[in-house]
Chain A
Amino acid sequence: MASITLQNLVKQYGDGFPAVNDVSIDIEDGEFIILVGPSGCGKSTLLRMIVGLEDITSGDLLIDGKRVNEKAPRDRNLAMVFQNYALYPHLTVFENIAFPLRLAKGKHTDDEIRKLVTDAAKTLELTDHLERKPGNLSGGQRQRVAMGRAIVRQADAFLFDEPLSNLDAKLRGQMRSEISQMQRRLGVTSVYVTHDQTEAMTLGDRVAVLKKGVLQQIASPRELYEQPVNLFVAGFIGSPSMNFLPATLEGNVLKTAVGDIQVTEDKARAAAGKKVVLVGLRPEFFEDASLVEEHKKDLGSTFMAELTHTEWLGNEQYGYINFDPDPEVRELLNSLAAEMDADELRPQIVVTLDAASRIRGGRSAELWLDTRKMHIFDPETGDNLTRDAEAGAALTQEANTARAEEISEAREREASTAGQPA
C-alpha cells in the first residue's frame, strides 16, 4: 500500500514530441485513479512511466514519498496487468501466478508459494484450472490469471493497462465489477488506463482526463460530468456526448438554434463580452414538453423543433435534431471532434426523451429544455465560463469520503470473516 506522486512528469521521444507533458497527480493510498483519453493522449505512456518501463524525461515520480525515477521496474514493487495479459505460454496457470514469488528467491518456501497461489486462485475462481496452460483458457480466465499474478505478491500498487479491452461486452461488465470489488477489498492503490468511459466512470474514485499528453482535469466522475473544466472534458465524458450549440448573448437571453434561453444573472455575466459562445447541453436536459410536469416546466424553456428521427431503446429514446451552424462554428466543432477521436461531428443535437414519448421523426414537436445545469463555453479557448469550482470540489470530496467508508467497511468485513472458523 502506498501513495504515488507524479510531479511535472514529461516524456519526450527522440523526435522531441512530448507524449506526456507536465502531468502532476497526487494519488492517495488506496485510491482508484483512472487515466482516460482518446488514443494517443499519452495515458498508457504515463502508466508505463509509473511502472518504470518508460524513462522519465523530466519531473519526479515518488512512491510513498521516495523518488523512484531511476529505479528499475523490479525495484518499484508495483504489479501490472497488461492489455494482452502477458501470460507466459510455456508455464501452467499455477506457475504463471507463482512467477513473481519464484523470482523473489529465498523469500518464500515452496509451501508458502503453494498456499499463496491457491489462495489467490480461490478468490479468482481459478482453482480448477491451475494445471492448465494459458493457451487453453478463455479470455476471461486469462484475464483472471493476469490479475492473480498481480495480487499474489504484496505489491504497493496495481497498474492496469486497458485490461478489459480484449473481452466481449458481457464479460467486460462482469470483470469490471470484480476488479472494483477486489480493489476495495484489498484497499490497494490502483491506476487504471482505459479509453472506455463506462469503465472510467464506474471504477474511478478520481478520473484524470488527458489530451495530447496534457492533463485536462482530474476529479471524481460526478464532478467531471457536472462541472467539466473545458469543452474537451465536457464532450469526452458522457454518452451520447454533450451537445454544443452556438449562441449569442443579448442581455440575459441566449439566442440559439433551439430558441431563446433565459439564463441567470451570474451565467450571463460570465459569458458577457463574447460575440459567440457555445452552450453545452447534455441530451438528458431535454424532454418531451407534453410529458413534463407543470411545476418543472418553469425551470427550463420550451421550443419547437423537427426531429429527423428517433431511436427507441426501451428505457428511453434518443431523438436527433439537425441545425445549421455558421462555417466558423462548424470548423470549431470539427476540430473538437478530431481531438476526441470521433468522426466529423455532425451539426446535430441529440436529445434523450422518455420512452413513453410519442414524438416521431419528421414531425414538429414541442420540447422542453432544463437549463439549470447547462454550461457556457468560450469557443476560442474552450474554457468553461460557468464552471462552479466549489460545487465540483464538493462532489469530489463526497467521493473521497465514500471511498474511505467503503474501504474501512470492506476491511471490517474481511476481519470478521477471517475471525470466524472456516
Chain B
Amino acid sequence: MKASRTKERVTWIIISVLVLLYALFPVVSIMATSFKLPSELTSGKFLPSSWTGSNYEQILVGSAQDLFLSSLRNSIGIALIATFIAVVLATLCAYAIARLDFPGKKVILTTALAVSIFPVISIVTPLFNLWRNIGLYDTWPGLIIPYLSLTLPISIWTLAAFFRQIPWELEQAAQVDGATTWQAFRKAIVPLAAPGVFTTAIIAFFIAWNDFVYGISLTSTEAARPVPAALAFFTGASQFESPVGAISAAAIIVTIPIVLLVLLFQRQIVSGLTQGAVKG
C-alpha cells in the first residue's frame, strides 16, 4: 500500500518535471538569448558566456525605444479598453442568457461560438480594406473592435456558465426581502459574480494582449501598433546585425505582466475555467 503510494508520487513528479521542461524551456531559452551580445547569437551555446543588459538598454532607452515604448503603451491601452468593453457587455448578455427566457437565446450562444472559431486570418483582408475606407485603419478603435470579436464570445460563455451557478433563489429571496430587481442584482448577484467577472476579464485581457494577426495587419505606424506586431519591426544596430537579442528582451518584458497576473490570480483563473467558484 505504502510502496504503491510512493511509486505514484514519483510518477507524478516525473510527469510534472517533463511538463515543466516542455513548457518552460522556450521561455528560458528566450531569456538566455535576451542577455546575449549580438555576436554570440549564433554561437550555438544555450547560456551567454558573458551576460549583458545591452538588449534591454536598446529597447527601453536606446535606439529601439520609440518603437518599443509606444507599442507597449498601445498594447496596454487597447487591451484594457477591449477587455473593459467586452466584460461589461458580456456581463449583461450572460446575465440575460442565464436568467431570462427569450427567443433567440440559443442563436446568440451559437453565434458567439461560431465567431470565436472563425479563422481570424480570413477576415483580415476585407477588414483591412474596410478600415482604410472608413478611416479606422491604424487607430485604437480599429483594433479594439476586432479584439471584441475575440474576447466577447469567450466572455459570454464563461460568464453565462458562471451566472447559471448562482442560485436564482438568492435573487428571489432578495426580492421578497424588499429589494427591487436592480437592488437584488447589485446586492445579491454582483458580489457573487465578481470573481467570475474578474476571471473573465483576465482571460479576455490575455487574448487581446497576445493578438498578432490583427495587430500587424491593421496598423502601420506607432499610432496604434501593439507590442506583438512591433517586435517584428525591430532591426539590429546595423542592417548586418541580427535583432534577435532585442526581440527576445522585448518578448520577456511583455511576458512579465502576464506571468504576474497568472501568479497573483491563479486560483481565480483555475476556478473560473472550471466554473466552480460559487459555493452556496
A, B in one complex: yes
Chain A residues within 8 Å of B246, by CB: none
State the CA gap A79–B180 with chains docked (Å): 15
* Residues from 153 to 201 in B contacting A, C-beta threshold 8 Å: 167, 169-170, 172-180, 183, 187-188, 191-192
Q: In the complex the two chains form, is A88's CB within 8 Å of B178's CB?
A: no
**Residues on the A chain within 8 Å of B176, using CB:** 51-53, 73-74, 78-80
Q: Check: B279 CB closer than 8 A to any chain A CB.
A: yes
B residues 3-39 touching A (CB-CB < 8 Å): none
Contact with B along A89-126 (1 / 0, CB 8 A): 11000000001100110000000000000000000000
User: In the complex, which residue of chain A has the Cβ closest to the Cβ of B166?
Assistant: A89
A78→B178 CA distance, assembly (Å): 9
A86-B188 Cα distance, complex, nearest whole Å:
10
B170 cross-chain contacts in A, Cβ below 8 A = 86, 88
CB of A82 within 8 A of CB of B177, answer no
Tell me whether A86 and B175 are in contact (CB under 8 A). no
The reply to whether B169 and A84 contact each other, CB–CB distance below 8 Å, is yes
Q: Which of A52, A89, A103 contacts B179 (CB 8 A)?
A: A103
Cβ-defined contact, A135 with B279, below 8 A: yes
Q: Given the complex of chains A and B, what is the CA–CA distance between A52 and B172 in angstroms?
A: 10
Q: Report Cα–Cα, A83/B169, bound state, in Å.
A: 9
Docked pose: A168 CA to B206 CA in angstroms: 47
- Report which residue of A72, A86, A89, A149 has the largest number of chain B beta carbons within 10 angstroms of its beta carbon: A86
Task: Report chain A residues within 8 Å CB of B178.
Answer: 74, 100, 103-104, 153
- Residues A82 and B173 in contact in the complex (CB < 8 Å), given A88-B188, A89-B192, A89-B280: yes
Which of chain A's residues 123-144 have a Cβ closer than 8 Å to chain B?
135
The docked-state distance in angstroms from the alpha carbon of A353 to that of B174 is 51
B81 in the interface, Cβ–Cβ < 8 Å?
Answer: no
- Docked pose: A104 CA to B177 CA in angstroms: 9
Residues of chain B within 8 A of A149, CB atoms compared: 173, 177
Complex-state Cα separation, A145 to B177, whole angstroms: 14
Give the total number of A-B pairs whose CB atoms are below 8 A apart: 64
A74 to B279, CA, bound (A): 26
- B109 in the interface (beta carbon within 8 A): no
SS of B interface (majority) = helix
From A83, A89, A103, give the contact of B177 (CB < 8 A). A103
Q: Contact: B169 with A82, CB < 8 Å?
A: yes
Residues of chain B within 8 A of A135, CB atoms compared:
279-280
Give chain A nearest CB distance to B15 CB in angstroms. Answer: 34
Partner of A86, one of B169, B180, B183, B279: B169
Q: Is the CB of B172 within 8 A of A103?
A: no
Chain B residues with CB under 8 Å of A80's CB are 173, 176
Count residues of A near B (Cβ-Cβ below 8 Å): 24
Question: Known interface pairs A86-B167, A89-B192, A89-B280. Does A53 touch B172 (Cβ–Cβ under 8 Å)?
Answer: yes
A100-B280 in contact (CB<8A): no
Complex Cα gap A369–B209 (Å)? 84
CB of A99 within 8 A of CB of B192, answer no
B177 close to A90 (CB less than 8 A): no
- Which residues of chain B have C-beta atoms less than 8 A from A89's C-beta? 192, 278-280
A-chain residues with CB within 8 Å of residue B167 when the two chains form the complex: 84, 86
For the complex formed, measure the closest distance between the CB of B92 and the CB atoms of chain A, giving whole angstroms: 21
Closest chain B residue to A99 by CB distance? B177
Known interface pairs A74-B177, A100-B177, A100-B178; A90-B192 also in contact (CB < 8 Å): yes
In whole angstroms, what is the CA distance A153 to B177 when docked?
Answer: 9
Complex Cα gap A82–B174 (Å): 11
Contact B278 A73 (CB under 8 A): no
Q: Which residues of A contact B177 (CB under 8 A)?
A: 74, 79, 99-100, 103, 149, 153
Closest to B278 in A: A89
CB nearest to A79 among chain B residues:
B176
Query: What residues on B are CB-neighbors of A53 within 8 Å?
Result: 172, 175-176
Instruction: Give the nearest-CB partner of B173 in chain A.
Output: A86
Shortest Cβ distance from residue A28 to the other chain B in the assembled complex, whole angstroms: 22
Contacts of B279 in A (CB 8 A): 89, 135
Complex Cα spacing A253 to B266, Å? 80
Contacts of B183 in A (CB 8 A): 103
Q: How far is the CA of A88 from the CA of B279 in the complex (A)?
A: 10
Distance between Cα atoms of A126 and B264 in the complex (Å): 37
A99 touches B174 (CB 8 A): yes
Residues in chain B near residue A74, CB distance under 8 A: 175-180
Give bound CA distance, A100 to B184, whole Å: 11
Task: Report Cα–Cα, A74/B246, bound state, in Å.
Answer: 63
For window 67-85 of A, CB contacts with B under 8 Å fall at: 72-74, 78-80, 82-84
The residues of A with any CB-CB pair to B shorter than 8 Å are: 51-53, 72-74, 78-80, 82-84, 86-90, 99-100, 103-104, 135, 149, 153
The 9 closest A-B pairs by CB, nearest first: A86-B173, A86-B169, A100-B177, A103-B178, A74-B178, A90-B191, A73-B175, A80-B176, A82-B169
Pairs across A and B, CB under 8 Å, 11 listed: A52-B176, A79-B177, A84-B167, A87-B280, A88-B191, A100-B177, A103-B178, A103-B179, A103-B187, A135-B280, A149-B177
**Residues of B participating in the A interface, judged by any CB pair closer than 8 Å:** 167, 169-170, 172-180, 183, 187-188, 191-192, 278-280
